[in-house]
Structure 1
Amino acid sequence: MEDPLRRWSCRELLLLFALLGTLCEPGSGQIHYSVREETDKGSFVGNIAQDLGLEPPELAERGVRIVSRGRTQLSLNPRSGSLITAGRIDREELCAQSARCLVSFNILVENKMKIYGVEVEIIDINDNPPRFRDEELKVKVNENAPAGTRLMLPFARDADVGVNSLQTYQLSSNLHFSLDVKSGTDGQKYPELVLERLLDREKEAVHDLLLTALDGGDPVLSGTTRIRVMVLDANDNAPQFTRPEYRVNIPENIPVGTRLLTVTATDPDEGMNGKLTYSFRNEEDKISETFHLDSNLGEISTRQSLDYEESRFYLMEVVAQDGGALLASAKVLVTVQDVNDNAPELLLTSLTSTVSEDCLPGTVIALFSVHDGDSGENGETECSISRNLPFKLEKSVDNYYHLLTAMALDREETSDYNITVTVMDRGTPSLSTENHISLKVADVNDNPPAFSRASYSTSIPENNPRGVSIFSVTASDPDSGSNAQITYSLMEDASQGVPLSSYVSINSDTGVLYALRSFDYEQLRDLQLWVTASDSGTPPLSSNVSLSLFVLDQNDNVPEILYPTLPIDGSTGVELAPRSAEPGYLVTKVVAVDKDSGQNAWLSYRLLKASEPGLFMVGLHTGEVRTARALLDRDALKQSLLLSVQDHGQPPLSATITLTVAIADSIPDVLTDLGRLKPSADQDDSGLTLYLVVAVAVVSCVFLAFVIVLLALRLRRWHSSRLLQAAGSHLTGVPTSHFMGVDGVRAFLQTYSHEVSLTADSRNLIFPQPNYADTLISQESCEKSEPLMISDKINSNEEQGNVQVSFFFQSG
């Protein structure tokens, strides 16, 4: 068959395209085009770019695309900006028998989130010939049928519409029958075979006819079926239905197998001529698949479920035929009533899955359309979202909705949203559909790092190893990604003229502080640091916090004995105690200090060893050396005491000192024992011994000569000591702690100095006036002062011929 499109000239095609262009209405909300069916793939339909006011390259830049719920069979040409056919368009497949075939879809401008409606009318061409259901049909007629008897013939169907649809029938020439065509209320043309001449079965039992159906297209298309008329014996009465047309209304959700209605026909004949059989006449496949007709009872029931959205009514013809081949027909119209059995549908057209937290209110998040397959109120929909969300819905054209931000977003408060869009129809009962839209809020660096506390303080023991971890500061940033990556640093400053960076460092990633040197409590007791936490955002944000670092004292200093000091010239220091001393007599006082602090500097004094046990005792906290009992004659002139000064640290540290106490009531006794204090290295030197004996004898004589002077000095000394005790009585209330070694300790000393000079030349024994000094001796002054000692230098050289002895008697 020749393609009808080929008969169009080029001039006619140009006029057609010009006509299509005039059908577009850019100024209205709907754009209209038209195209003939069966047009080749890629054929021009309309200029979308021009009708949208855009240049062809802008279509891709602005994201212009077709959005549709189904297959549109149309596409956009991005180079020309034209709407073209995407494939073969079959009008009958799209619109069936509809008088006007419109394909509707939408054009989305992505960057503006705008929707434009487009309607394309598919123009019918005569591409479908009329078709009969059966190629051959047998018709029975009684031989005594009168002239004018009408016999029902099958009608043809044409998928085209208008003039291209079925227009008329033709019957092949014969002597007995003619053709009559009637138009039904549905517009369908029904052919009938009319008997023109009486039949004689004995002459001709079968008549073969050809029925042709013609449409009005150009060229005309046709379809044929063979009609075989079987001549039967006489059957006087034809069946007759009680009603010419049956109507029934049923809801679309009735169960399968439900009886819809019963058609009834009667025949007054008897026997086989009166027995009726019911059947569908010329039914479509869809009718026989959907409904069942009981051939004996005439009951019509459903074979499968009905769908109002698929077909709203069914028109069928039922035939009642008797045994004599006479028949009657009646029409049955089944109207399907809509039931709210379709839930609304939501179709996302465009969606933004991530939005920045600093976006302005009114930012478009999603564009979607809503559709409900039901009709009337059952198809009317309402769209909503939860009210406690910072979003809102805004209706656009053609059941499209925009999902917008209603207020400012805060990612730190809510980082993602699960937005539930609910679409509900107005049917009874109402049906609804939910669609979930996930939206993530992108972070913006709007939060500086925050420390967990307003300030920090920590401590570190002195003498710490280098590189030891001191403390860890932690800051948090509610932002995410690089905006929450925190770097720690120390603010530059100086302590005692030294940069803080030489004392402490900080790990920039973890915030752990490390000691760069070993701290000494006695030199540095605290540091004030400022730690800065900065994020990696753009621009970066930061915050500061103060950190107080305290150095804790450790027991790392041994007690230092300030008094008595050890001699530095090789002589032996001696403390003097008279034999007449009473128990509790103050011989001397040991004064010590400790550079540490706290209990590490609390000092206690102990007597470790004595040459005469039980003779002396030491104050535990005062360091005072006193006699424990009265001195006896048998007690040796020289007493050696080993004293310990110990602090209360952990572990405790201590220092020791050896004291030599000379016990004598007379100078000769002291001088006699001087040789014993430091004997000569050569004990077998007899010459030296002789000289010593002579010297002692001379001294004894001199002593006897000056005994009166000595007694006078004794009385004077006793009188002076009484005055001193009266003057120092106010010290009895001084707390012991004033004598303990703490920072800034000052040893309160009472120093008594007695100097006795004896020369061989003058043979004079001189006792100067006592020197009483109440002194607060500091460590420095003690270090610079002369050692308090007994100088026992006996020169064996006869040429010098003199002996000088110095006694220092001190009491603390």
Structure 2
Amino acid sequence: MIPARLHGDCKGLVLLGVFLGTLWETGCTQIRYSVPEELEKGSRVGDISRDLGLEPQQLAERGVRIVPRGRTQLFALNPRSGSLVTAGRIDREELCMGAVKCQLNLDILMEDKVKIYGVEIEVRDINDNAPYFRESELEIKMSENAATGMLFPLPHAWDPDIGKNSLQSYELSPNTHFSLVVQNGADGNKYPELVLERALDREEKAAHHLVLTASDGGDPVRTGTARIRVMVMDVNDNAPAFAQSEYRASVPENVALGTQLLVVNATDPDEGVNGEVRYSFRYVDDKAAQVFKLDYNLGIISTIAELDHEESGFYQMEVQAMDNAGYSARAKVLITVLDVNDNAPEVVLTSLTSSVPENSPRGTLIALLNVNDQDSEENGQVICFIHGNLPFKLEKSYGNYYSLVTDIVLDREQVPSYNITVTATDRGTPPLSTETHISLNVADTNDNPPVFPQASYSAYIPENNPRGASLLCMTAHDPDCAENAQITYSLAEDTIQGAPLSSYVSINSDTGVLYALHSFDYEQFRDLQVKVMARDNGDPPLSSNVSLSLFVLDQNDNAPEILYPA
């Protein structure tokens, strides 16, 4: 297999033939694959691990995953092979009906680098649909004095495939009165029409039975048929005519059911029953047939289902007016569905950090948000902002992604946690908005040394004190938390009259209480200087010192002595 990864310098384009399709990649974060439709679940689409520059086992280690987009996922990652595979059956006609090119998009997130890769997958058409007629049987009424060469519209066949797999030709069963002509419409469709080649005689034959066959260009060729019954009628020499060849209407998507959109009108100069006109859809796709209704007698087109601009913003139909003799006229109907602001923005947290160290630099990533609004134009334009005066900001990232980052260096001792509200508001009238709440804890770092409340301490000890007597409690405060705030007390090493300081006094390492280990004698020495150190358990530890002066108080423990006379 040929490698298919575009290197980081983005200087070239590599074409890869893979088992199920073809991959192209341009730029540094855009990957393209091509696969045929109707693949089985689990079919390989492409080697995504290699195209990301990873080994298969690194997909899980580096948190590579597909970012969901709110609908059924069509693809999945195989962590063992490192491949992108199908998650279910892929039907091109279901996904991209009528589109020349069917392209699916998904986003792949690499968690450890918080990097998004866009993947485009082209679904290629196969000949899995045969042409078919909406009406398998059709009755055409013709006047017995119809002129030879007259054209009569036949049903239009449908084939949801594209290219050569779509509808290519029509064929009429052999007969003595009719031939077939196929017109190429401006919309690219082929419209079959019946040509009267020989004059009709109702008394000779009142009905003609024909078979119309539609064929595609696939291999093998697929076909569909419709049975046509031509009824020969008595003379009616005028066909209906529409007042205009094209009817247009624009309607907001939130109109009520049963709303009248427009009226098509055709007239027939004949008198009596020969002048009566009936309306019907000659060409209408499946979606439009489920949304609109045409009144058979009045030509009123109204809604029978809710409109949704996001599902379809434009409908094209063809209506037919026919009199009792089978003469007909046709006109186009174009309906534009106008967007209203009926969808609030959607915010998806694709990556979130619940805790951040207080000494993190400005611009540290807190969360990655994907913002989307299904509406169009201004109704779909979204603005994101943060509520309140908080030390964070939003930065536009790839596509519709926003990065929530710190705007200053945080200090846990000032604010230990934040509740962040991100609001996404569209530009519609009235605007719709969505709030996303994020809780963030500021993790402590050992950035504060222990602090004594006094710059120095003094204590007084009566001489002849008992050993082990408590002299003084010295307590320091550390604003950090947990281990960073756990304080250990100790005495600086020193000597007094040749003896170590630790033989005279000691300090409780946990409480900071100073004890006398020696019974002091005022007549030997009257004060001693001690340096106390408070040290926390952080990494690295921080400490501070304070000076302590101990004064020995005299007691009346000596009787007077007579020095002279001896």
TM-score, normalization by structure 2: 0.79
Query: What do the CA deviations read for 1:662-720 (whole angstroms, capped 9, x no partner)?
Result: xxxxxxxxxxxxxxxxxxxxxxxxxxxxxxxxxxxxxxxxxxxxxxxxxxxxxxxxxxx
**1:26 Cα offset (Å):** 5.3
| 1:273 has 2:242 as partner | no
Measure, in 1, the Cα distance between the counterparts of 2:517 and 2:139. Answer: 115
Judged with a 3 Å threshold, the aligned counterparts in structure 2 of structure 1 residues 545 and 294 are, in CA distance, closer, same or farther, namely farther
**Aligned with 1:482: secondary structure?**
helix
* Structure 2 spans left out of the alignment, 5+ residues: 1-14
**SS of aligned partner of 1:128:** coil
SS of 1:92's partner is helix
Secondary structure at the residue paired with 2:112?
helix
Q: 3-state SS of the aligned residue for 1:269?
A: coil
CA drift at 1:214: 1.0
- CA distance in 1: counterparts of 2:552 and 2:269, whole angstroms: 128
Which amino acid letter does the alignment assign opposite residue 537 of structure 1? G
Q: Which residue of 1 aligns with 2:370?
A: 369
Alignment partners' CA distance in 1, 2:231 and 2:470: 116
Q: Find the aligned partners of 2:167 and 2:231 in 1 and give their Cα distance.
A: 28
Contact kept, 8 Å, 2:248 with 2:334, in 1: the verdict is yes
Q: Matches of 1:270 and 1:291 in 2, distance apart?
A: 31
Distance in 2 between the 1:269 and 1:551 partners? 135
After superposition, residues 465-614 of structure 1 pair within 5 angstroms as 475-487=476-488, 508=510, 533-543=534-544
Cα-to-partner distance string for 1:540-565 (whole Å, 9 max, x where unaligned): 3344567899999xxxxxxxxxxxxx
**Offset of residue 332 of structure 1:** 0.6
Counterpart of 2:215 in structure 1 is: 214
- Cα distance, 1:259 vs structure 2: 2.5
1:96-129 Cα offsets, whole Å, 9 max, x none, are: 1100111222333333233333322222111111
Note if contact 2:284-2:316 (Cα within 8 Å) is conserved in structure 1.
no
Computed over aligned residues only, the root mean square deviation of the Cα atoms, in angstroms, reads: 4.5
**Could you tell me how far 1:195 is from its partner in structure 2?**
3.2
Distance 1:29 1:485, change over 3 A: closer
Give the Å deviation of 1:17.
3.5
1:32 maps to 32
Q: Secondary structure at the match of 2:248?
A: strand
**Does the CA-based 8 Å contact 1:490-1:506 persist in structure 2?**
no
AA paired with 1:445?
A: N
1:435 and 2:436 are equivalent in the alignment: yes
Change (3 A) 1:209 1:16: farther
> Distance between the aligned counterparts of 2:337 and 2:526, measured in 1?
98
Equivalent position SS for 1:24: strand
2:287 counterpart letter in structure 1:
K
Partner of 1:573: none
What residue number does 1:313 align with?
A: 314
For residues 558-581 of structure 1, the C-alpha deviation after alignment (integer angstroms, 9 at most, x for no partner) is xxxxxxxxxxxxxxxxxxxxxxxx
Give how far 1:516 is off: 10
Note the C-alpha offset of 1:218. Answer: 1.2
Instruction: Say if 1:76 and 1:83, in contact at 8 Å, map to a contact too.
Output: yes
Kept in 2: contact 1:25–1:31 (CA 8 A):
yes
**Corresponding residue of 1:115:** 116
The correspondence of residues 58-207 of structure 1 with structure 2, limited to 5 A, is: 58-67=58-67, 69=69, 70-71=71-72, 73-207=74-208
Q: Separation in 2 of the partners of 1:202 and 1:547?
A: 134
- Give the drift of 1:467: 11
Letter in 2 for 1:244: S
Q: What is the match of residue 6 of structure 2?
A: none
Asked whether the equivalents of residues 470 and 512 of structure 1 are also in contact (C-alpha less than 8 Å), the reply is yes
Compared with structure 1, are the counterparts of its residues 360 and 368 closer, same or farther at alpha carbon in structure 2 (3 Å cutoff)?
A: same
Deviations 1:360-403 (A, max 9, x none): 33433333333332334444444444684444444333333333
| CA distance in structure 1 between the aligned counterparts of 2:132 and 2:477, rounded to whole angstroms | 81
Q: What's the counterpart of residue 303 of structure 1?
A: 304
Partners in 1 of 2:471 and 2:292 — Cα distance?
A: 91
* 8 Å contact from structure 1 (residues 72, 103) kept in 2: no
- Please list the CA deviations of residues 287-318 of structure 1 after superposition, one character each: whole Å capped at 9, or x if unmatched: 23322333333222233332222112111122
**What's the CA shift string for 1:119-153, capped at 9, x where partnerless?**
22222111111122233333333444443444332
Of the two, which has the highest radius of gyration?
1
- 1:49 is displaced (CA, Å) by 4.1
Q: Is the 8 A contact 1:72 1:105 kept in 2?
A: no
* Amino acid across the alignment from 1:36: P
Q: Is the contact made by 2:366 and 2:405 (CA closer than 8 Å) also made in structure 1?
A: yes
CA contact (8 A) 2:20 2:44 kept: no
Q: Distance in 2 between matches of 1:465 and 1:172?
A: 128
Greater CA drift, 185-194 or 451-460: 451-460
Change (3 A) 1:458 1:16: closer
1:722-776 residue CA offsets vs partner (Å, 9 max, x unmatched): xxxxxxxxxxxxxxxxxxxxx79xxxxxxxxxxxxxxxxxxxxxxxxxxxxxxxx
Q: Measure the CA separation in 2 of the matches of 1:418 and 1:189.
A: 62
- Structure 1 residue 188: deviation in Å? 1.8
Is the contact made by 1:26 and 1:52 (CA closer than 8 Å) also made in structure 2?
no
**Cα 1:506–1:259 shift into 2, 3 Å:** same
SS at match of 1:483: helix
Structure 1, unaligned stretches of length 5 or more?
1-13, 553-594, 596-742, 745-777, 783-812
Secondary structure in 2 aligned to 1:112? coil
The answer on whether the counterparts of 2:37 and 2:91 sit within 8 Å (CA) in structure 1 is yes
Contact preservation (8 Å) 1:133, 1:282:
no
Aligned twin of 1:396: 397
- 1:571-612 Cα distance to aligned partner (Å, 9 max, x none): xxxxxxxxxxxxxxxxxxxxxxxx9xxxxxxxxxxxxxxxxx
2:227 corresponds to which residue? 226
CA deviation profile, 1:214-250 (whole Å, cap 9, x unmatched): 1111111111222233444444433221112211223
CA distance in 2, matches of 1:230, 1:432: 62
Question: Kindly tell me: are residues 460 and 303 of structure 1, through their superposed partners in 2, closer, same or farther at Cα, counting changes over 3 Å?
Answer: farther
- 1:244 corresponds to: 245
The whole-number CA distance in structure 1 between the counterparts of 2:353 and 2:490 is 40
* Distance of 1:149 and 1:422 partners within structure 2: 65
- Measured against aligned partners, the alpha-carbon deviations of 1:3-28 in whole angstroms (never above 9, x if no partner) come to xxxxxxxxxxx99539966x523555
What amino acid does structure 2 have at the position aligned with 1:37? E
Q: Which residue of 2 aligns with 1:696?
A: none
Query: 2: CA distance between counterparts of 1:191 and 1:86?
Result: 41
> Distance in 1 between the 2:242 and 2:231 partners?
24
C-alpha change, 1:325 and 1:507, in structure 2 (3 Å) is: same
- Closer/same/farther in 2, CA of residues 511 and 208 from structure 1, 3 Å limit: farther
Q: Which residue of 2 aligns with 1:259?
A: 260
8 Å Cα contact 1:240/1:328 also seen in 2: yes
Mean CA deviation greater in 204-213 or 66-75: 66-75
Cα 1:91–1:548 change in 2 (3 A) is same
Distance 1:381 1:498, change over 3 A: closer
Offset of residue 529 of structure 1: 8.2
Per the alignment, residue 447 of structure 1 pairs with 448
